Amino acid sequence: MNSIDQEYAAIEANARLFNKTQTNPFNLPEGFHKVIAASGRDMGLGHYCVRCKLHTKAGAENGVKHCGRIDTVPTGFFSRAAFYFKLKTYTLPRVWN
């Protein structure tokens, strides 16, 4: 019988292997990006990590914890201005239920 730690390690290894085979199906910008709702409303900042495939659709202004680290938005005047100048936009797809 395997211990919980061994089972978790096996699951994590399988998840990493699965993530390596995946691509970016929604063509999300890497890192922080501006998110626009399908209705045109500004949703704030989103974040996408290529390594762990974590996608935060909105609310990433305070930072995102992933891959064992925390990514935050720059706080300095010039670095923040450069950040927003290079920021890409992602429009959420319209979903019909």
**For the chain, domain boundaries:** 26-91
What pLDDT, on a 0 to 100 scale, did the predictor assign at position 29?
Answer: 86
Closest CA to 29 of 46, 5, 9, 51: 46
At position 11, the amino acid (one-letter code) is: I
Q: Give me the pLDDT at residue 97, please.
A: 60
Is pTM beyond 0.75? Reply is no
**pLDDT for res 81:** 84
What pLDDT was estimated at residue 1?
63
**Average pLDDT per consecutive 10 residues, the chain (97 residues; last block may be shorter):** 84 81 78 88 88 84 86 83 83 74
d(CA 22, CA 49): 13
